Structure formats: C-alpha cells, structure tokens
Amino acid sequence: MKTIYTVFQVNTYIHNMFREDYLLSDVSVTGEISNLKFHSSGHIYFTLKDAQSAISCAIFRSSAQKLNIALKDGDKIIAHGSISNYVQSGSVTFSINSVEYEGVGDLTKRFEELKKKLSEQGLFDKEFKKPIPAFPKTVGIVTAPTGAAIRDIISVSRRRNPYISLILYPALVQGEGASKTIVNGIEVLEKMGVDVIIVGRGGGSLEDLWAFNEEEVAYAIFQCSIPVISAVGHEIDFTISDFTADLRAATPSAAAELAVPDVKGIISDIDSLSSNLDKDMKRIIEKYNHKNQVYITKLEALSPINKINKQKVSVKAMDEKLDMLMKVVIVSKNHKLSSLESKLDSLSPLERLKAGMAYVTDDSGKRIVGVSSLNKNDKIKITMKDGYAFASVTDTVIENI
C-alpha cells in the first residue's frame, strides 16, 4: 500500500525542494509589474508577468527600505531574489531583495562613473554650496510646463506666500535634447536675476530621469551664481543634479517648501516678537520712570532752587515780621511824636500868644528881651495872637524881678 501524505507534508516537501535548489535560491527574473500594492506593514506585493505567464512577488520591509527606485504598475524590471512556496497556502512566491529597471545596467555604470568624476573635481563639496535665501522675492523654475511637478510647486508656493513671483522656464525633462533645455533654463533665469532656482521633475524610471544625470546639466548647476535646489523624482530617486545642487529636495513639493518661506508663520512670529517687545519696552519705561522719579526727588532736595525757594519763604516770613515790627514801632513813635507835639505846642510862643502874651521886636525885627535895650522914641513891633501893633517908646521903667 502506497504511503499517504498530508497536505502539510507535501507543501513542506516542496518548500524544502525550493530551498535546496541552487538556481531558485538566487535567481534574477525579468518582467512587467502589475497589481502593485504597498502594505501598511512596509511590505510590497505585486505580480511579475510576461506575455506567457505570471508569478506572485513580495518585497519585505527590510528589502523595500533599501530600494533606490520607485515602483509602479507597468515598469519593466529585473528582480533579484529567491523562489519558494508558503507551506500554509502552497502558493509559490518570488521573494525579492533588490530591483533594477530592465536595461539599466549601462546607465547605472555611466551614472557611477560620472558621479565619481564630478566628485573628484569637487562639484559636490560642501564649501561650494550657496545658502538658500531666507526671504526670496522671485523663484525661477526649470521644469516641464505641464505635469504634476509644476502644479505642486505653484500650489505649495501660493499657499505659503501668495505674494511671491514664480517664473517658469518650460524645459524638456526627458528624451532627446532635454539636458540642453535644462541648461538653457538655468542660464536664462540666472541672467534674469531671480533669487533662487528650482530644477526638477516628477518621478520616473532611471531612463526618464537621465537628463538630470548629464554632465552639462551638472556643470550648469555648479557654475550658476544663484542658489539651485534640485527636485528630481521621488524621495528614493537620486540624480547627479541632486549632488551638484546647493540643496536637494525629496520632491518638487518639498523644493517649494524649502524655497518659499511661510508668510503666515513669519507674520505670526513678527506679531509675537512685537508683542514681547511692547511688554519689554513698557517694563523698561516703568523701571526708568521710577528711577527718574527717585532722581527728581533727590535733585529737588539738593537743588539750589529748592533752597532758594525755602529761603524765599523764610525771607517772606521775616519781611512780614519786619513789617509788623515796623508798624508797631511806627505806632509807638507816632504816639510819642503826638505826645511831644502836645508838649511842644504847650511851649510854643503861638500858644502863649493865644494866652494873651505878646512878642516885641525893634523896627529891624530883632527880638527885644528887656526894657534896658530900649530908648525913648524907639520904634517897636508888638506881635499878638491876631496881628501886629507898632508903637514908639515914650518912657522906660526898669524893675528888678
């Protein structure tokens, strides 16, 4: 009786056959990609087919992260890896660890040779990299006038800064004559005096991107006096332009992000700085106002004017006191004067005249103080309270009083 095997045993046997087969453990297969799927786990699944047949393929995450090309349906590739079957399902799968575009061997060799040559000439050295301007007014773009690249650059630029000027030089980005138009675009925009130039295109195969691997494009970028950003293909794509440019962007959209500052963010930063500056200025002004007030108080205390004002107050008080004392003195003196006037009046000849006495002078006006100075027939003047009388001496009598 023949041995009966389980499905698991059969599939395990087949699995071991694949593992032990030297050819299938390290095989290169050419074909066209279809049903391409990128799993959230990082794995890539697709079917590799030709006109007669197809095989299921898987690129696991560890290998997918090392790919240097962007896969898409319809690409003709050469895949390297091993063929085995899954024991659980029995399905045959081509487990791929590296991929290159079909016919890429010669191009890859040319790429590496040119890269080595230009590197030795110093075209990739950091010391020659020009800084990208922080606030450009005009951005020059060398790319195809149609396609995703220019649309993405315009969209991102307008969103970040609607006031920026974009100047497009419509260039061929693949095929015969493409490198020449790219060089012309760089030279024209340099003469126009733009602030920064973006050179690039969307993704594609190595052949599609080859214009950006040409030596003349590399020299045009290196010799340009204006900073150049290279934005060719996808993040995993690298071209000679990327190494020669002043800055490499993963995609055209990323190039616009790098070239065009976000005006909203700048305005927000300015508003924040202005607010902080206002607060700092107010705090400083308050601080120095306080200090100024302290100095004013001290200055007033030490100021000659302050002392003069105090002296004025003191002088005014003394002046008022002096006025008061003078009034007292004047009143006292007036009172004394009145008293003396009264006494003087009482001694005045006029008062005596009023009392009936008379005043006698000779005819020359000389006062006669006694009878002994008179002679008979002398003319005399007698002054009384209400007038004068003139008389002639008829006789004199001297009496001892």
Domain of 141: which CATH number? Answer: 3.40.50.261
Position 355 scores a pLDDT of 66
pLDDT in tens, 273-329: 888 888 888 888 888 888 888 877 877 777 676 666 677 777 777 878 888 888 888
Q: Are residues 11 and 44 in the same domain?
A: yes
Q: Are residues 227 and 96 in the same domain?
A: no
**Structural domain count, the chain:** 4
Give the domain-ending residue among 102, 118, 150: 102
Q: Are residues 178 and 95 in the same domain?
A: no
Answer whether 144's CB lies under 8 Å from 201's CB.
Answer: yes
- Residues 58, 309: Cα–Cα separation, whole Å: 102
Q: Are residues 117 and 177 in the same domain?
A: yes
pLDDT in tens, 151-201: 999 999 999 999 999 999 999 999 889 999 999 999 999 999 999 999 999
**CATH code of the domain in which 58 resides:** 2.40.50.140
Q: Are residues 136 and 47 in the same domain?
A: no
Average pLDDT over residues 235-247: 91
Q: Are residues 273 and 376 in the same domain?
A: no
Phi-psi region of 247 (alpha: psi -120 to 50; beta: other; left: phi over 0): beta
Give the domain-ending residue among 102, 124, 159: 102
Position 401 scores a pLDDT of 60
Q: Are residues 357 and 292 in the same domain?
A: no
Q: Are residues 40 and 144 in the same domain?
A: no
Please say if the pLDDT value at position 5 is more than 90: no
* 397 domain-assigned: no
| Residue, of 351 and 18, whose pLDDT is higher | 18
Q: Are residues 120 and 251 in the same domain?
A: yes
* 125 domain-assigned: yes
201: closest CA among 146, 245, 161, 240?
146
Q: Are residues 172 and 237 in the same domain?
A: yes
- Residues 50, 344: Cα–Cα separation, whole Å: 161
List the beta bridge partners of residue 243.
Answer: none
- pLDDT interval class at 354 (50, 70, 90): low
List the domain range (segments joined by +) for residue 115: 107-261
Position 351 scores a pLDDT of 65
Position 350 scores a pLDDT of 64
* 64 domain-assigned: yes
Beta strands in 264-396 (DSSP E): 359-362, 379-384, 387-392
pLDDT in tens, 100-158: 887 655 677 788 889 999 999 999 999 999 999 999 999 999 999 988 899 999 999 99
Q: Are residues 118 and 70 in the same domain?
A: no
- Looking at the chain, the whole-number percentage of residues with pLDDT higher than 70 is 93
Task: Using CB atoms within 10 Å of the CB of residue 149, give its burial: 0 to 12 exposed, 13 to 18 middle, 19+ buried.
Answer: buried
Average pLDDT over residues 384-394: 83
* 119 domain-assigned: yes
Q: Which of 51-60, 191-200, 229-238, 275-284 has the highest mean pLDDT?
A: 191-200
pLDDT in tens, 67-85: 877 788 878 889 999 998 8
Give the domain-ending residue among 67, 86, 102: 102
* 134 domain-assigned: yes
* 152 domain-assigned: yes
Provide CB contacts within 8 A for 78, sequence distance 6+.
Answer: 28, 29, 30, 99, 100, 101, 102, 104
Provide CB contacts within 8 A for 71, sequence distance 6+.
Answer: 33, 36, 44, 46, 77, 99
Position 1 scores a pLDDT of 65
102: closest CA among 48, 54, 43, 138?
48
The model carries a pTM of 0.50
Provide CB contacts within 8 A for 2, sequence distance 6+.
Answer: none
Please say if the pLDDT value at position 334 is more than 90: no
pLDDT in tens, 206-225: 788 899 999 999 999 999 99
Q: Are residues 158 and 292 in the same domain?
A: no
261: closest CA among 165, 162, 141, 135?
135
* 2 domain-assigned: no
- Residues 26, 323: Cα–Cα separation, whole Å: 130
Q: Which of 222-236, 257-271, 297-311 has the lowest mean pLDDT?
A: 297-311
- pLDDT interval class at 47 (50, 70, 90): very high
Position 121 scores a pLDDT of 94
Residues in the chain: 401
* 43 domain-assigned: yes
Please say if the pLDDT value at position 344 is more than 80: no
